[in-house]
Amino acid sequence: MKCPICKYGEMKDGFTQVVLTRGNATVIFRNVPAQICDDCGEYYLDEKTAQDVCKRADQCFSSGQEVTIMEYKQPISA
């Protein structure tokens, strides 16, 4: 699939870093599975992964931590 941003690159399976900020707090997830453009580097998460990242980030933001760095581990399917 062509990248919807740059229109040149191809989207490839890979891993990326996701950085989310709310107010003065920042959460960094490392090694998140994603589709990554081989030209511009833009990434896209599938819906399940995006929801999981947001849920985990909300927990960090709610705990009052200012900076959190996590290795992303996919949830175990039930």
pLDDT on residue 73: 87
Q: Is 29 exposed, middle or buried (0-12, 13-18, 19+ CB in 10 A)?
A: buried
- How far apart CA 10 and CA 1 sit, in angstroms, is 6
Q: Are 49 and 67 in contact (CB under 8 A)?
A: no
> 77, 4, 70: which is closest to 37 by C-alpha?
4
- How far apart CA 42 and CA 8 sit, in angstroms, is 12
pTM of the model: 0.85
pLDDT in tens, 28-63: 999 999 999 999 999 999 999 999 999 999 999 999
